[in-house]
Each structure stands twice: as C-alpha cells, then as structure tokens.
Amino acid sequence: MMEQTNKPTIAELIADHVPVASRPAARAFAGTWSAGRHARPLLQILLLGLGAAITIPLMGYLVFRSMELLSLHAGTYQIAVGAALSATSVFLQRHPRQSRNVGEILYILLITSTFATGAGLLIYGLVNLTGKAFVIPVTAMLVTAATGYLVGRGIGYAICLYLTLVCIPLFIPGDAGHAARSGAPLFGATCFGSMMLILVGGTLKPRQIVGEAPVLRALAAAVVTLLAIRVMFSFVLPPETAPVKLMSLPGVSTFLAIAGLCLLAHLGGGWRSLGYGTLLLSALATIALAALNAPGILLGLFLLVLGYHRADRFLTGLGAVQIPLYLYIFYYNLEADLLTKSGLLILGGVILLTGYGWLRLRGRDDAPGETGA
Amino acid sequence: MINTSDTDLSAPATPALVDALYAAGHLDRESHDRAMAAVLPPRQWGLWASRLLLAVGMVLVLSGIVFFFAYNWYDIPPLAKFAGIQVLIAGFTIAALILQSDTLPARMMLLAASVMVGVFLAVFGQIYQTGADAWQLFAAWATLSLIWTVFSRFAPQWVFWLVIANIAAMLWWQQNGGIALFIMPGMFMILMLFNLPVLALFEVLQNRPADWRQKPWIRPMLVVAIAFFAAVPAIQFSTRFVDSWEMPKTVEGIGALLLLICLFLFYRFARPAMMGVAPVLTALTVTLIFTFSSLVEHVIRWDIPLLAEFIMLVIVLLCFAGLVQYLRNLRSGWMADQ
C-alpha cells in the first residue's frame, strides 16, 4: 500500500515519469486533457446530468405527442425517430466542439439527451412491433456496441441508456412499461458484469481498462441512482422493479466477492498478500458477506475502499449513499421475512465489528487524528 | 478549439490524469504505478479501515435490531422487549462513558443509544396501541435523543437528529393539514424555516477555530435541503402569478424567492462558496423554467402543442447551459483571484 506525501504538478509528473523523447507529446496531451471535458468539476457534471434528465422526458413527450397528432403507426414512427435522434447524437459526437463558452455546454446537453431519447425510442418501437421483452437487452447491447465502435464511449452511454429504460416505465404504463421491467434488469446485470470486469481490471491492468476510470464512476453512479429512483418512487413502483431484481439476481454477490478479492489483492500488491494480517481478515469478511447474500453492502464497501484508494470523493460518496439506500430496499424485499433479514444484518455487522476489534487489538487504529469523524 | 499552450501545467497532477496518460501510451505499466503512488495523497489504511468497519458494522447491527423489533415477534413478552431495549440503551451509554468521550467508538455508542430511543418509542406504541400520531413518535424521539446528541459533539449525530426533527415537522404538517397539503408550500416553508437557523449557526461557527462543527460537507447538505424546500413554494408562487397576473395572497412563495436571492447574494459576495451558490442558483433556475412553462402555456394556451413543447425544450436547454456556464465563469474568476 503506497504512501507518499508531496503531490507533484503535471509538469513535474511528466518530467519524472515520462521518457524524454515522449515528453513534448505527453505535455500536449496533458494540456488538452486538463483543459478539456475530462477536467470538468463534479458539480458541473451533476448539473449537466440534471439538465439532461429534464430534457429527455420533454424530448420523448414531444415525439409521442407528434405521433398522436399525425396518427402515425406507433412502432414504425418510434423506430424512425429513435434512429434519427441516435444518428444525430453520433454525428455530433464525431464532430466534437471544445470551447469555453455556453455553446459547448449546449452541445453536451444535446448529445446526451438525443442519444438517450433516440435509443430509448428505438427500443420501444421494436418492443411495440414485436411485443417481446428480450428485444430490450438485445437492442440495447447492439446500440451500445455500435455507439462504442463509432465514438468509443460505449459503456458510459449504456448507463445513460439503462437509466432511461428504467425510468420510462414510470411514465408509460401498459405493455411497453411491462416489457421494460422485464428486460431492463438483464441489461443492468450486464452493466454490473462490466463493472466487475473493471474492478478486476484493478489487478489485471490492461491498458484500456485502467484508462476507463470514468466508466467505473458512471457504472457505480448508475447502480446508486437506480436504487435512489427505487426509493424515491417506492410508493408507485411494484416491488419487483428493475433495481430490486438487479440486486437480488443470483450470483451478483459472488461476482462482487470475486471483484472484491481482486481489489484487495491489488491493494496488497499481489494475491499472496491475501494470506496475511488485515487483508486476510478483509478477504474472509468479503466471503462471509457474500455468503450472507448482501450484495448492496458489499458494493458499498468496495466503492468506499476504491474511493479511498484512488482519492476519489465521488466514488466514496457513492459508497456512503449506497449502503443506506440498499438497507431501505432490503427492508421491503419480499424474499425473506423481517426476522431472517434482521439475523443476516446483525451477523454481517458482527463480522465487521470483529474486524474492527481485531484491528484495535493489533494497534492498527492508533494513528493521530482518531478523534475526528 | 482550445489553445493547449495556455493550459497551466503547474496544476497538481491527479490519479485520473495518470490513468489518461497511461491509456494514451505516454506511460508504461511500471511508470504508471510509480506516478500513481506519487499523486495519491498520504493514507492511513489501518486507521481508515478501522473507522469503516466500526461505522458500517454499527449501521448493520442497528438496522438488524430495528428490523427485529419491526417484526413484532409475539412470542416475546412485552416486558422482555422493553427490558432488552433499555439494557441496550444503558449499555451503549455506559460504553460511551467508559470509552474516551472524544473517540469515534464512544461517539458511535451515543449514536446507537439515540437510535435505540426511537426503537423503544416504536415498541411502546406497538404494545400499548397508544393511538399516538406518527409525528408524535418522531417529535418525542427528537426531544429525548437531544440529550445524547448534545453530549456527543459529533456532526453525523447532529445530522441524524436533524433528520428525525425534519420528519417530525413534515408528519405534523401532513397530520394536521391532510394528505393534499403534502404538495402545499406551507410544509416546505416550515421545513425551510426549521433548517435555516441551523445553516446560520454553521456559518457563524466558521469564524471560530476549527473543531467538530466545521465539517466541509455540512454546508452543501444544508444549502441543498433549504434550496429544495424553498424551490417548491417559489415555483408555486411564480406559476400562479403568471397564470392570473395577480400577486398571490400567500406569503410563502415570495418569502422563499427572497430567501433564495439572499442566499445567492450571501454565497456569491459575502462568503464566496461554490457549494453555496450552485444549489441556490439551481433552485432559481428550476423556478425560472417552471415560470416560463406557465408563460408558454398562458400565451400559446397549448393550441399549438408541438410548438409549445418545442419552446419548452429549448428553454430547458438554454437555462441549464446558462447555469453551468455561469458557474464555470464564476469558478474561473475565483481561481484567478486566488
């Protein structure tokens, strides 16, 4: 586990770690990267997300209203408009606009909302034509793959799409809404699987995975947002809606436990480190929590650990929000009675508190700053 | 396009930049690891892990206890239930006294005791069927747990207390005004006025030497809550005004609007803080969008619905683009001043 004190500047970092021949190119890259969209503060990203979240239903409503007024065939019209909007989004993304004025912000809002609305409409059009739920995950995967191939941001946009799919049943009751409830969890599970891959990537470190830290953030944000949506609409949504199904899918705990062990091995510097001391205890606690089938708690804990490891407040915040949201949903989960759930939670808590006691016993928590909270 | 030569390479490097350099092929695997080690801040894993395990472990155990009593197991005699909860309250309090009062474990014990007070009141209501309203339970909980809260000197415990008190105020309003009043501005006004003195107190305490009351997350949390509570009456006021072109007789809306403007001016000029300006300005932007929506409806009267909806779409895009651009300029200005 790495410990350093002085944080270098971008110029110092390049001078210290990049080979001499590559430095000019690295400086130019770092300059563009820092000035461009990658350096956008979290607050701006959240506000852009809020703006897109308001724009998407407005755009969708506009299409539905025009369909009614022109008495067009629902499925065909939705597919045509959806494809046109998706193509517009891809076109805009392939001609990026990087400036510091209001036009750039409008551009980002347009790209996100046209993509989510377009892909959502395309999928619903196909569902209306075929009446099959499996069309949703299959089309969503194809749209994601095509977007990823054309503009290289596939997984991030999958999240945007998934959130749209999950939210649409809130506004559209009936067959299409029912199909979304059935198909969205499958698509969500694939997103979950992708996140596992990225977490595992912490150990394997292939170039393309380490470079996809924003995707990890997007996926984590999607899971937490889904839980938040479920909690916010808890009086409207039926108990078996997408987020609940997603969190109780068989094997999710196992996937998370494997990913957690990979993360711990990465933090310790190799698999052998899991055989000793604190990491051994953490690995055992991970397996125990997986055995108790508490995926939300596992995910929350890993986001907290990952956030602390990467000094990433966003991930830490998501982890902190994830745990209470999951507990709220767990309370209303119909798969077990309250007594069983109570036993599972107390057992899980005792496992973690035992870990705490062990650390105290070993004197690993006596560093300065203990009193702050 | 951006002129990269203008970019300041003297800014601190971040883990995300290291990842980006690696992904772009400017760093090899070994250099990536060394660079990442250099940019990550100093960490105390042992201390951090122990805090995490204690906090999450306590949350799980307390949730388990709440779930257990919510199950309302009839085989357990009422006396045993009361005795069990009281033993837990006493146990947590004594444990807090035995442990050093300024340590995290002691504070967590006090927080646990506060939670158990609520469980006690809920079980009391279960057994005796007191017929008390839900708000009375939360009000009693907030009142009784204030003792532990004051002695804890622990910011998260104050947040917990504030949540209970807010729920009590909300339920009281619903209970006395009927379900329909949930969407009325009065309830949000009460919540806003309830939280405003807390924010004021927080800002006053910022002038003192740093202590447990000055956590950086307190301000955004309070401002976001107050901005949300103020936005509802403000939206209702502005839309009614546009609908009838008469000043609504209620004071909540205009009060909320004035408060939002005052908060914006305070955090923009008196105490510059992005996390103060942004939530307030977002609330004002959403109010503006709703006002425009009413105006569009009023002028076009939805005779040409497609046109009206298209105009609304453009308005939303422009309002949010303007908001983000303003905040970006403000941030740049403040950074330049520093």
Give A124-188 as a 3 state SS string: HHHHHHHCCCCHHHHHHHHHHHHHHHHHCCHHHHHHHHHHHHHHHHHHCCCHHHHHHHHHHHHHH
Residue B322 has pLDDT above 80, yes or no: yes
How confident is the model at residue A215, as a pLDDT?
A: 67
pLDDT digits over A231-272, tens only? 777 766 666 666 667 777 667 888 888 888 888 887 777 788
The region of weakest confidence among A211-215, A323-327, B34-38, B230-234 is A211-215
- CB contact residues (below 8 A), chain A span 138-157, against chain B: none
pLDDT digits over B11-33, tens only? 788 877 887 787 777 888 778 87
Residue A337 has pLDDT above 90, yes or no: no
Q: With contacts defined as CB-CB under 8 Å, which chain B residues touch A312?
A: 15
State the pLDDT confidence band at A98, using cuts at 50, 70 and 90. low
State the pLDDT confidence band at B1, using cuts at 50, 70 and 90. very low
At residue A158's C-alpha, the angle toward residues A154 and A163, to 5°, is: 160
SS (H, E, C) A36-64: CHHHCCHHHHHHHHHHHHHHHHHHHHHHH
Mind telling me how many Å the CA of B18 is from chain A's nearest CA? 9
How confident is the model at residue A4, as a pLDDT?
A: 42
Mind telling me how many Å the CA of A352 is from chain B's nearest CA? 5
State the pLDDT confidence band at B241, using cuts at 50, 70 and 90. confident
The region of weakest confidence among A80-94, A115-129, B200-214 is B200-214
CA-to-CA distance for A109 and B240, rounded, in angstroms?
29
Q: Which residues of B61-72 are buried (b: 16+ CB within 10 A; e: fewer)?
A: bbbbbbbbbbee
Q: Measured over all CA atoms, what is the biggest interatomic distance in chain B, rounded to whole angstroms?
A: 76
Residue B287 has pLDDT above 90, yes or no: yes
Kindly determine whether residue A345 and residue B60, on different chains, have CB atoms separated by under 8 Å.
yes
Choose among A28, A35, A349: nearest Cβ to B64. Answer: A349
CA-to-CA distance for A244 and A247, rounded, in angstroms?
5
State the pLDDT confidence band at A359, using cuts at 50, 70 and 90. confident
Choose among A54, A342, A367: nearest Cβ to B47. Answer: A367
The pair of structure tokens assigned to B67 is: 């779930």
CB pairs under 8 A between A and B: 306
CA-to-CA distance for A225 and A47, rounded, in angstroms?
15
Secondary element (H or E) of residue B60 = helix B45-71
Amino acid letter for position A269:
G
The pair of structure tokens assigned to A22 is: 């590559």
pLDDT digits over B119-151, tens only? 999 999 888 877 778 889 999 999 999 989 988
How confident is the model at residue B17, as a pLDDT?
A: 81
Counting Cα atoms < 13 Å in the Cβ hemisphere of A176 gives: 21
CA-to-CA distance for A52 and A42, rounded, in angstroms?
15
Mind telling me how many Å the CA of A134 is from chain B's nearest CA? 32
How confident is the model at residue A203, as a pLDDT?
A: 57
Q: With contacts defined as CB-CB under 8 Å, which chain A residues touch B312?
A: 58
Dihedral of CA atoms A122, A124, A128, A129 in degrees, nearest 10, equals: 30
CA-to-CA distance for B13 and B98, rounded, in angstroms?
45
Mind telling me how many Å the CA of A112 is from chain B's nearest CA? 12
Mind telling me how many Å the CA of A350 is from chain B's nearest CA? 6
Mind telling me how many Å the CA of A317 is from chain B's nearest CA? 11
Residue B316 has pLDDT above 90, yes or no: yes
List, in order, residues 6 or more apart from A80 with CB less than 8 Å away. Answer: A125
Q: Does A208 touch chain B (CB under 8 A)?
A: yes
How confident is the model at residue B291, as a pLDDT?
A: 92
Q: With contacts defined as CB-CB under 8 Å, which chain A residues touch B59?
A: 323-324, 327, 349
CA-to-CA distance for B312 and B333, rounded, in angstroms?
31
Q: Measured over all CA atoms, what is the biggest interatomic distance in chain A, rounded to whole angstroms?
A: 74
The region of weakest confidence among A266-280, B170-184, B241-255 is B170-184
The pair of structure tokens assigned to B106 is: 């002691």
Q: With contacts defined as CB-CB under 8 Å, which chain B residues touch A356?
A: 50, 53-54, 57
Alpha-carbon distances, residue B262 vs B194, B219, B225 (angstroms): 17, 16, 16
CA-to-CA distance for B194 and B59, rounded, in angstroms?
27
ipTM exceeding 0.90, yes/no: no
Average pLDDT rounded to a whole number, residues B270-292:
93
Q: Does A284 touch chain B (CB under 8 A)?
A: no
Average pLDDT rounded to a whole number, residues B235-259:
82
pLDDT digits over A25-84, tens only? 888 888 877 766 555 677 888 888 889 888 988 888 888 878 777 776 677 888 888 999
Choose among A26, A304, A342: nearest Cβ to B21. Answer: A26
| Mean pLDDT across chain A | 78
Q: With contacts defined as CB-CB under 8 Å, which chain A residues touch B104?
A: 370-371, 373
Choose among B39, B45, B57: nearest Cβ to A356. Answer: B57
Q: With contacts defined as CB-CB under 8 Å, which chain A residues touch B38?
A: 4, 7-8, 13, 16-17
pLDDT digits over B66-113, tens only? 999 988 878 888 889 999 999 999 999 999 988 876 788 899 999 999
- CB contact residues (below 8 A), chain A span 56-115, against chain B: 58-59, 61-62, 65-66, 69, 98-102, 105-106, 109-110
